[in-house]
Chains A and B, each alone.
Chain A
């Protein structure tokens, strides 16, 4: 079953074209990795799919679960089951993780006509997810990402993903800033939360190393706003060996 279908997507920031005719189909049960050099448009793809203001789609279409994704507000995309893991998770002073995530989860549930979780129900869920990702439950009480190390922020992204339990995750360089142990924990988290026949993942990454933990079904090379090559997991190894210049040429 097709979950995400991107066709001939063109997008620009401040009038500067970044995506130049990108097409990609992701089916349920699949994990796709998008790799590519700096400036290829990887993060832009994530933000366009997430609906970040300032990223203007000039041509093409994106359907998600049969809906026109580009027609939805960012929070409606989340409620539809899309999760965007940030390369640089944002610090929010004065708003605790618990408050933020409970608001987020219950807002999504409300949009889907589901009953909200009580404070106690939510806290139980949040504690379980934090434990699975080896994050101190005390950190849930702290303001969102404030004073967190780079690795803790990425881990917190995965805790959030575990709590909202999305259908489709776009993870933008979730591996950057992680040491080897944290990389394994985060990799295990992605597999545990997202490896399912009715879910799918788009992993945006620079390096092969996360793919040792999260085995992709497909690897795509993004260069200058288009997918220039696609293949299986072996393509990531080829990239690692020969560099983008060799493979994408």
Chain B
């Protein structure tokens, strides 16, 4: 059991918006039987991780090489998930689809995982967090030249606290795209450090955080461009209802040698009630002199004129609110390339909207 003193506090700048009280409360939740979610992609390789342990008889990993490996991090939450974990190595030019269910029955669970892609390997990855307690993941990705990852992560049917730390190294001309959806009652913290270590690397890291009641969700993402001609996009949408808080902190760092970097940040928040809060923190640190970095950060309410326009055409107010909110969230979920996965995520967001409005 991790001592409370080993966890970050709100006095740490990087954790000032974090719902650490919810984390503590989650740890106190008694373990109950948790159900494994149905897969979105029934034909994919499937890994079922329950309480931090890979459950072989629920998983189906026919052509995956999974080995034990020591995985470490110095991140404040991620380090607690460090230790003996699993490492998946994908052969050069292989094409793989994996769906991971991360189920937590209660209390703490810590899951270290490493995925290494050989040159030009392609991975489609879907991850679903469900259950209760504190679910803490550390996931490392290593992309060799030309490798591609298309990843979609969702937190649904989860209560308690979910924290996920990603550490991603993106090699030359490799591409890493990750879209995250927080649509459960769990408070969340999505932490990521992405480093573009090869020329012409591409990173996209974003998503939608939907918060309600007293919930708090946040992301803290840092993209580091180390080499020239890299491109990165961080597109996040936050929808906050009731007295909830959604926080988006996104940083782009461009090293001195990383000329011709094209970085883009779009952070937007939507308040469904005035009692809700959205915090935005865009950050740019640029040491190269020939770069293009665009950033936008806005928080607002639903457009009252659009609402009335829709009502005047016969659409009841809650439905009009749902349609407008859905359109707002769609910006982020549209980035999921696989249609089946995208539709499942949109359905999750819709279900959240049904509850919240």
Q: Which residues of A contact B (CB under 8 A)?
A: 50-53, 73-75, 77-79, 84, 86, 89-95, 99-101, 103-105, 107-108, 111, 143, 160, 164
Contacts and interface: CB of A to CB of B under 8 A. Distances in A.
A94 B310 CA distance: 14
Instruction: Tell me if B's interface is mostly helix, strand, loop or mixed.
Output: helix
Given A53-B308, A90-B306, A78 B314 contact: yes
B311 A73 contact: yes
Contacts of B323: 95, 99-100, 103
Given A53-B304, A107-B319, A94 B312 contact: no
A53 B317 CA distance: 12
Contact of A92 (B312, B314, B324): B324
Given A53-B308, A75-B315, A107-B316, 12 more contacts: A50-B308, A74-B317, A75-B311, A77-B312, A90-B306, A99-B323, A100-B323, A101-B313, A103-B319, A107-B314, A108-B314, A164-B314
Contacts of B315: 75, 103-104, 107
A114 to B, nearest CB: 12
Contacts of B32: none
Interface residues of B, number: 22
A92 B308 contact: no
30 contacts: A50-B308, A52-B308, A53-B304, A53-B308, A73-B317, A74-B308, A74-B312, A74-B317, A75-B311, A75-B314, A75-B316, A75-B317, A78-B311, A78-B313, A84-B312, A89-B309, A90-B303, A90-B309, A91-B306, A92-B306, A92-B310, A94-B324, A94-B328, A95-B323, A95-B327, A99-B323, A101-B313, A103-B323, A107-B315, A107-B316
Contacts of A86: 309, 312
Contacts of B308: 50, 52-53, 74, 90
B306 A94 contact: no
A74 B310 CA distance: 9
B255 to A, nearest CB: 36
Interface of B: 303-306, 308-317, 319, 323-324, 326-328, 330-331
A51 B314 CA distance: 12
A-B interface, 10 closest residue pairs, ranked by CB to CB distance from nearest: A94-B327, A78-B314, A104-B313, A108-B314, A74-B311, A90-B309, A104-B314, A107-B314, A75-B316, A75-B311
B152 to A, nearest CB: 20
Given A73-B317, A94-B328, A103-B319, A78 B309 contact: no
Contacts of A89: 309
A193 to B, nearest CB: 15
Contacts of A95: 323-324, 327
